[in-house]
Amino acid sequence: MNPHTDKSAPHGRRHRLTVVLSAVLLLFLILFGLQFHHFRTTPVSPPQTVDLHIAAGSSFSQICRQLADNGVIDHPILFRLLGRLTGVTAKLRAGDYRFSTPATPDEILQRLVAGDVRHFRFTVPEGLTLAEIAVRYQQAGFGRAENLLRAAADPKLLKQLDPGVSSLEGYLFPETYTLETTTTPRQLLQAMIDQFKRRVGSGLLAAAARRGLDRRKLVILASIVQKEAGNDAEMPLIAAVFHNRLRRRIPLQADPTVIYGISNFDGNLTRRDLETPTAYNTYTRAGLPAGPIANPGMAALEAAANPAAVDYLYFVARGDGTHEFSRTLAEHNRAVRKYQLGR
C-alpha cells in the first residue's frame, strides 16, 4: 500500500466536503437574497386604512411589532433586518401615520425616516382672544387649553414682540395652520407670531407711522376695529371714526374694550360696566386701551393703518351687520333712535 495515498485520502474528503458546504451555503445565500429582494420590493396591502401612532422613544423592534400587528408589514423579522442593513433603525420619526395604499417595505421605511406623518388643519378666525384660541385648540383635540395658555406666558416668546408686552394678545395672526399631533403648544404659538411678523411688514408699519401709530398702537387699534366691524368693507370707516376721535381727544367709547376688561363677562353690558374704570374701558379712559383686545386679521390691520378719508365721529349698528355713520352727536342720536330704540 502506498503511504502517500493513505495520507491524501482524508484531505480529499475534507476538500470535497468544503466544496459541498460552500455550494450549499452559496445556494442558500442566493435563495435568501432572492427571497429578501422579493420581500423588500413587494407591496403589502393593509387590510383597511390604518392610522398608527408611533410614540416618541419607541424602539425599532416596537415599531416593527406595531406595523405587523396592524397588517402594514407581513414579515417583522425581515423588516427588522432591512432596517439594520440600511442603517436607519435610529432615524425613524415619531408621529401619526396613515397607511391606506399598498407599499413595499422599502417605501414604508422611507416614510418613517422622512417623518411623512399625518397633518391636521387648525383654523384661527379673525378676532379671537388668546383665551378663545386656547379653547378652540382643546376642542380640536390638539391638547389642553391650559397648556397653550401656559406656553403663551413664555418670556422668550414675549421678548420677540414690542417693548413692554406682557401678553401675546394681538400678535397671534389669524390663519389656517398645518399641525402634526407632535406639534407642541409653543411651536404653534411661534408659527402664529412668525406669520404676524411676515404679514405686518415695513409698508404697513410706514403707513401706520404716518398716522402716529407704532406697531403696538397699530395692533391695539386694529383689534378694536376687528371687534366692532360687521364686515371687512366697513373697517376703514370704523378705523376713521377712532382716528378722528383720538385726534380730537374724544374717548373712543368702544363697547368691546369694556367687555374685554370684565372678567367672566355674562353677555349683558350694563351702564355700571361702562362707568367702571379698568385699563381697557375706553369710556372712562382717554386714548387707546392698555393693550389689544383680540387678534386682528389683515383687513383690520390695513384699515387701522389706512383709514378712510371721512370726518365721521360716531357709528351705530343697524342690526343687519352694517353701521350708520354720523358726523355730529345730533345725527348720531337720531340714528340711535332709529336703529336701536325703534322710534
In Å, how far are 50, 72, 76, 103 from 46, measured between CA atoms? 7, 5, 14, 9
Confidence band for 62, pLDDT divided at 50, 70 and 90:
very high
| CATH 3.30.1490.480 correct for 50-114 | yes
Q: Which residues pair with 317 in a beta bridge?
A: 323
For residue 276, pLDDT over 80 is answered with yes
**pLDDT, tens digit (0-9, with 9 covering 90-100), for 301-329:** 999 999 999 999 999 999 888 999 999 99
pLDDT at 292: 98
For residue 294, pLDDT over 80 is answered with yes
**Plot region of 268 (φ>0 → left; ψ -120 to 50 → alpha; else → beta):** beta
The domain ranges of the chain are 50-114, 120-199, 202-312
Residue 163, SS3 per DSSP: coil
Total residues belonging to the chain:
343
- Give the position of cell 390691520: 301
Residue 181, SS3 per DSSP: coil
Confidence band for 193, pLDDT divided at 50, 70 and 90:
very high
How far out from the chain centre does Cα 229 lie? Answer: 26
18/105 Cα distance (integer angstroms): 36
Q: Higher model confidence: residue 20 or residue 76? A: 76
**pLDDT, tens digit (0-9, with 9 covering 90-100), for 115-155:** 888 889 999 999 999 999 999 999 999 999 999 999 999 99
For residue 216, pLDDT over 80 is answered with yes
Average pLDDT, the chain: 90
For residue 3, pLDDT over 60 is answered with no
DSSP per residue over 64-128, as a string?
HHHHHHTTS-S-HHHHHHHHHHHT-TT-PPPEEEEE-S-B-HHHHHHHHHHT----EEEE--TT-
pLDDT at 1: 47
Percent of the chain with pLDDT over 70: 91
